[in-house]
Structure 1
Amino acid sequence: MGSIFAADSPLMRTLTRIADVMILNILFIVTALPVITIGAALTALNFTAMRIATGTDRTITGDYLRSFRGNLRQATAIWGILLGLAAVLVAWYGVISALVTDPVVQFVLYAGWYIIVFLVVVMTLWVFPYLAKFEGSIRETLRNARLLSWRHPLTTLFALTVIVLCATVTVFSPQATGYGLLWLLIGFGGIAVVDGTLFARIFDRYIHSSEEG
């Protein structure tokens, strides 16, 4: 029985990781509450999650706050850009609904809208993990996130599926998540660690190739 509860036993390592993800989840929620800091919070969330996923984390709070402070200005600017894009897309949809009456034209415009929305969503999926891992200008970060989302479609779709699936379960079967309680305890951190495992593997390929080059 003693070996089961030893500090290095599989059970205790698993429980420690769960506790780490819960701490990460609380840190994200608290730092994202001002809304304007969501970009920095997402960057720190992904930074810490990738370190947890690869076993390179030091302290959860220390890793998170270091990334949050270091990327606050740039992540906030990117978050503002993405909010601006979202506002434009909402306005575009409203204009189509209100002013376009021709069914064919309306179909074409709606199709274009959905395609652009999808491209913005998958770029957003990569942009904060990328910012957490690499340095560069805002323009470079957005461009490289967009290119990565296209270059690694399976990773993009899997990471997006995890998020959409969790959100769908929450909306249509809220009792499965304890009516939101699971999100407060571990939801954001848990998803970030799952997706962070994928992102970290992709990023490591580019780091190693650049070192070899």
Structure 2
Amino acid sequence: MGRFFNLDSPFVAFMNRVADLMLLNVIYLLCCIPVITIGPATTALYYITLKMARNEESYIIKGFFKSFKLNFRQGLIMWLIDLAFAGIMVLDFKVLNGSIPGIENPGTQMFSVMRVLIMVLAILALFTVSFTFPVLAKFDNTIKNTYRNSFFMSCRHFPTTLVMILTWSVTLLTGYLFPQLLIVHILILFSLAAFVPSFMLVKVFDRYIPAEADGEEEEGADNEENRDNAVENAADNGVDNAVENTGGSLSEGK
């Protein structure tokens, strides 16, 4: 029985991880309350879960808010872009389906083709958005290149994309269909939705990080500057200008 509760036992390690995820979940939800901050909050969420997947995290609260602050501007802009794009897609679907009063759907072949095109565009956008905040959490880049790299990564690493879409879909749908499970959402479900695919994301991102960057990280080379080393083989893999960020003001690195 003593071994079971030993600080180094698998059980204690598991319970510590659950406690960390619960703390992370509560912080994430609190930072999402203003709604417009969901982008920076989700970026910080992935920053911590990616660290967890590597067993590198130390202080959950400190790491979360440093990432939240570092990526606030880009995360906010990208979230607003995502909302605007989603609104346009919904409006287009309503127009093409004749769901808006005063606008009739002529039912022509052109409208059918447009409906299919918009559906394809919406799916590709969903693929891209599933990667944007994890990519922002890991790499330092412009908003344009973050979207571009996210699109290529989501297509190239489809299994990871599918897992992320499924985990977040289950999380959001259970909250909508089963409101009695609200306490589970408040305690752990959102952080768990980011934590599960983070193990796959770590392997994906490692393919776009130059070997010399890994060597510096192993030596503990955390600093106050953003590393500007372009990933040499990123273009060959379909991803351009992916640049790793050692964290700027993040003491643990990015």
TM-score, structure 2 as length reference? 0.77
| Paired residue total | 210
Please tell me whether the aligned partners of residues 171 and 190 of structure 2 are also in contact (alpha carbons under 8 angstroms).
no
Shift of 1:56: 0.7
Distance between the aligned counterparts of 2:20 and 2:57, measured in 1?
10
Within the candidate set 126, 139, 142, 1:121 is matched to: 126
Partner of 1:203: 205
Can you list the C-alpha shifts for 1:125-162, whole angstroms capped at 9, x where unaligned?
00000000000111111111111111111211122122
Structure having greater relative contact order (Cα 8 Å, sep ≥ 6): 1
Once the two structures are aligned, what percentage of the paired residues are identical? 30
2:191 is aligned with what amino acid? G
Shift of 1:210: 7.4
Can you list the C-alpha shifts for 1:154-210, whole angstroms capped at 9, x where unaligned?
2111221222234444444x27xx432111110000111001111111001211467
Shift of 1:103: 4.8
Shift of 1:11: 0.7
| 1:111 and 2:116 aligned | yes
Mapping for residues 160-171 of structure 1, pairs under 5 Å: 160-171=165-176
Partner of 1:159: 164
| 1:83 and 2:83 aligned | yes
Please tell me whether the aligned partners of residues 50 and 198 of structure 2 are also in contact (alpha carbons under 8 angstroms).
yes
Partner of 2:94: 94
Please tell me whether the aligned partners of residues 175 and 185 of structure 2 are also in contact (alpha carbons under 8 angstroms).
no
Shift of 1:106: 3.1
2:137 is aligned with what amino acid? A
RMSD: 1.8
Distance between the aligned counterparts of 1:18 and 1:84, measured in 2?
35
Runs of at least 5 residues in structure 1 that lack an aligned partner in the other structure:
none
Partner of 1:136: 141
| 1:146 and 2:163 aligned | no
TM-score, structure 1 as length reference? 0.91
2:158 is aligned with what amino acid? P
SS at match of 1:180: helix
Partner of 2:19: 19
Larger mean Cα displacement after TM superposition, 13-22 or 194-203: 194-203
SS at match of 1:6: coil
User: Is the helix fraction higher in 1 or 2?
Assistant: 1
Partner of 2:189: 187
Shift of 1:122: 1.2
Shift of 1:97: 2.2
Shift of 1:69: 0.5
Distance between the aligned counterparts of 2:70 and 2:83, measured in 1?
21
SS at match of 2:71: helix
